[in-house]
Structure 1
């Protein structure tokens, strides 16, 4: 296992919000770096649709999110519309140095308070609380845009296909429900490279491309 892990996320994902508190807790004792990425770009690269783009799956996903939040005792309120364009929120987090404080506040703005996260105006209150008065300039800065693009390209190169994803070395742990698997890796770094895990990692496919 690598000594450092990366947490890839997008504010559009309620599952990233649901995972955030536990990741922050783990980050107190382990080196975990948050990395904002564009989920839509990952989907395009892999030729996939997002869950909110598939009728039926969208409705179920929203129920599952609400259920999971209530079961975990996490306050959650969906933003005014979903899916939404998260670029402004992602760029704001980068403008704030991708710090845990900034990321947590932006997630709370969107998913705890249920406020819009798709425009500079909609994000103005949380941006001001983070010390940014001119939101338009902050999220429109070339360096900020380039950093978000670089983050996303890094994720794609690393094989990331969804958010949230934790990456440790070449091992990926996708989704909020994979958190216990990542915790197992922290406790036993070779756990997923032995036994049946080693066998299924080399399992051949019985069907070809369609």
Structure 2
């Protein structure tokens, strides 16, 4: 499927987004629009807990992503503390134009170099490399904040529930481990239209957990 338009939703808080970015930035015959969003907003909207909010899941998730990074030959060093507030990093990305270079630099600062990324001082080195001189003003820019909100609304319209997520048409691929499925779908979009796959769209719910 050549020249497909794809939207990639991500948050710098996610180490899996960092891993998937290494693939996304190398996609060929594919127009990727990268949209930073706040994962915490998605979790609140859908009433979910983040993986780091359940102690045993947090430990497993960290081990799993570290292992996957090693298997893929990608340097991954956790920041000093996690989870952290990624809002300023997201705004910096938008203020720097949301370019692949900006995404690269911020991800590398956090997940390759293992540096903090919450405060203005934390982000000043990467902002300098991106040519953002007045970082405080850039992060407070109403247009930057508005774009981040638009990205979030776009994610809700696309029925996104987590990050990282690739969206192409009405097909949604959630998680770094869904990259293979996405690439297979690009080669043959019909793989989601087989009788077996279509049955899943209307599979009845036998029981539901009570709130």
TM-score range, shorter chain: over 0.9
Whether 2:53 is the aligned partner of 1:71: answer no
Measure how far apart 1:154 and its partner are. Answer: 1.1
For residue 182 of structure 1, what is the aligned residue in structure 2? Answer: 182
**1:53-108 superposed Cα distances (whole Å, 9 cap, x missing partner):** 11111111111111111111100100011000000000000001111110011000
For residue 9 of structure 2, what is the aligned residue in structure 1? Answer: 8
For residue 112 of structure 1, what is the aligned residue in structure 2? Answer: 112
Distance in 2 between residues matched to 1:172 and 1:166, nearest whole Å: 6
| Structure 1 unaligned regions, length at least 5 | none
Measure how far apart 1:209 and its partner are. Answer: 5.4
Secondary structure, in 3 states, of the residue corresponding to 1:5? strand
Distance in 2 between residues matched to 1:33 and 1:94, nearest whole Å: 13
Show the 5 A alignment for 1:43-82.
43-82=43-82
| Structure 2 unaligned regions, length at least 5 | none
Which runs of 4 or more aligned residues in structure 1 lie more than 4 Å from their structure 2 counterparts after TM superposition? none
Secondary structure, in 3 states, of the residue corresponding to 1:173? strand
For residue 21 of structure 2, what is the aligned residue in structure 1? Answer: 20
Whether 2:33 is the aligned partner of 1:33: answer yes
The root-mean-square deviation of aligned C-alpha atoms, in Å, is: 1.3
Show the 5 A alignment for 1:148-159.
148-159=148-159
Distance in 2 between residues matched to 1:3 and 1:133, nearest whole Å: 36
Distance in 1 between residues matched to 2:35 and 2:24, nearest whole Å: 13
Contact 2:4 2:29 in 1 (8 A): no
Secondary structure, in 3 states, of the residue corresponding to 1:85? coil
Say how many residue pairs are matched: 209
Per the normalisation by structure 1, the TM-score is 0.96
Distance in 1 between residues matched to 2:4 and 2:107, nearest whole Å: 27
Distance in 2 between residues matched to 1:198 and 1:170, nearest whole Å: 13
Whether 2:197 is the aligned partner of 1:200: answer no
Distance in 2 between residues matched to 1:122 and 1:208, nearest whole Å: 44
For residue 135 of structure 1, what is the aligned residue in structure 2? Answer: 135
**1:9-68 superposed Cα distances (whole Å, 9 cap, x missing partner):** 000000000111111111x42111110000000000000110001111111111111111
